[in-house]
Amino acid sequence: MKFDLNEIKATFTEDSRKALWFNLAAMVSIGLFLVILFFYVYLPITTHHGETITVPDLEGMQLSQIPSFLDDRDLRYYVSDSTYDHRYPALTVLKQDPAKGAKVKVNRRIHITVNATMPPMERLPNIIDNSMKQASQILESYGFKIGKVSYVPDIAANAVIKVFVNNKEIIEKQLQEGFMLAKGSKIDLQVGDGMGKNDITMPDLTGMPEEEAETYLRGIGLGIGAIIYEENTTKEMGTVLRQKPTVNSKIKVGTIVDIWVAGEN
C-alpha cells in the first residue's frame, strides 16, 4: 500500500487547527462561565448584595450592651473616641456614626463615642458677686453642676456670696489663683437674699424641661426642693407637670420650690 506523504501532512494540519479552535472556544466558554459565577453567585453570597440593615439607636446605651445587641443585627462596632458629659454614666454611648435610621450593608462597623470613665479636671471659675443666673450659666459651661443653694441675709439680692465644694468653702483668692476640680462636681452656693425684702410672683414651670426649670428657678433667686417623678403617658419624659408653690403666688427670694416631673417612679 502506497502512502501519500503530502496527504498525510494536510490531514494532521487540518486536525491541529480544529483542535486549536476547539480548545480556544472551550477556554473562552469556561472563562465566561467563571466570570458569571463570580459576579452573580459568589459576590452576592459573600457581600449580601442588595441586602441592607437599618442602623439602630445606640446613644444612651451602656458599652457592655453593644456587642450582643449588634451581633443580633449582623453589625459590628468600633470605639473611635471618648469624651466626658457629667449628665451620663461612664461608658455610655454619646454619639454614633452612621446615625440611627441609616441604611447600611450587613456586617457594617458602627463607630461610637463613649463617655469617659474618669472626668477631666477643670478650673473652677470665680463666680463670687455674680448673679445667680450668671453663676449657673458659667458653671454649666465649665461642666459643673449646681448643688445646694442657700440664701443668707445680705443686701446683695440674688448674688453669689460664697462657694463651697464638699462642705468646704473655696475662698475668692483660691478661685483667682485657679482652683482645679473634676468636671461634673457639685458646687454649693451661698446667695444673698436682699435682706428678705424682695417679693416675687411664682412663675409657671409646667411644660418646661426639668433642667431648664431648675436653671430658671436659680436665675430668679429660688431654690430647688423635691423633684418627684411620676408616670405620664401624654407628656415627654423630663417635662414639668406641676409645682409647689402654685403659679402666681407671692413668694420671697430664696423660697424652695418642689416640682413634679414626667418620668419613672
Is the pLDDT at 45 greater than 80, yes or no?
A: no
Same-domain pairing of 126 and 222: yes
Tell me, what CATH number does 217's domain have?
Answer: 3.30.10.20
Residue with cell 440664701: 151
43 lies in some domain: no
Please state the pTM of the whole predicted model.
0.50
Write the pLDDT tens digit of every residue in 166-200: 999 999 999 999 999 998 899 999 998 776 656 78
Same-domain pairing of 161 and 254: yes
Same-domain pairing of 143 and 200: yes
For residue 218, what are the domain limits? 121-262
225 lies in some domain: yes
Retrieve residue 30's grid coordinates.
Answer: 469556561
Same-domain pairing of 127 and 256: yes
Question: 112: buried, middle or exposed (CB in 10 Å: 19+, 13-18, 0-12)?
Answer: buried
Same-domain pairing of 76 and 93: yes
Same-domain pairing of 234 and 135: yes
Write the pLDDT tens digit of every residue in 137-162: 999 899 899 999 888 877 788 899 99
